[in-house]
Amino acid sequence: MPSKASTVRDLHLCPFCGGVADIYRDPGQPGYEPFYVVYCTRCEARGPEKEKREDAIAGWNRRSTRERG
Ligand SMILES: [Zn+2]
């Protein structure tokens, strides 16, 4: 099923500022695959870029626990 643009409940808050995170799908460019990336709506921190939506979310959530770049 195609996913609609809506708030993603699974996303943790931003590990840097505690802001609300959202997910963005980059359509890609010639030579590049589309990817998903989670970002903070407040400070614009970005999670890992992944081809799969769930991978991008998982990467963001893992980072938000304690690990920092
Ligand atoms: Zn933030």
pLDDT at 38: 96
Does 11 fall in a domain? no
CA of 48 to the centre of ligand 1 (A): 14
Does 1 fall in a domain? no
For residue range 5-38, list pLDDT tens digits in order: 555 678 999 999 999 999 999 998 899 889 999 9
Would you list the DSSP string of the chain?
Answer: -PPPS---TTPPPPTTT-PPEEEEEE---TTS--EEEEEETTT--B---BSSHHHHHHHHHHHHHT---
For residue range 44-63, list pLDDT tens digits in order: 999 999 999 999 999 999 97
CA of 30 to the centre of ligand 1 (A): 30
CA of 8 to the centre of ligand 1 (A): 16
- Res 3 pLDDT > 90: no
The number of distinct structural domains making up the chain is 1
Domain extent for 47: 21-65
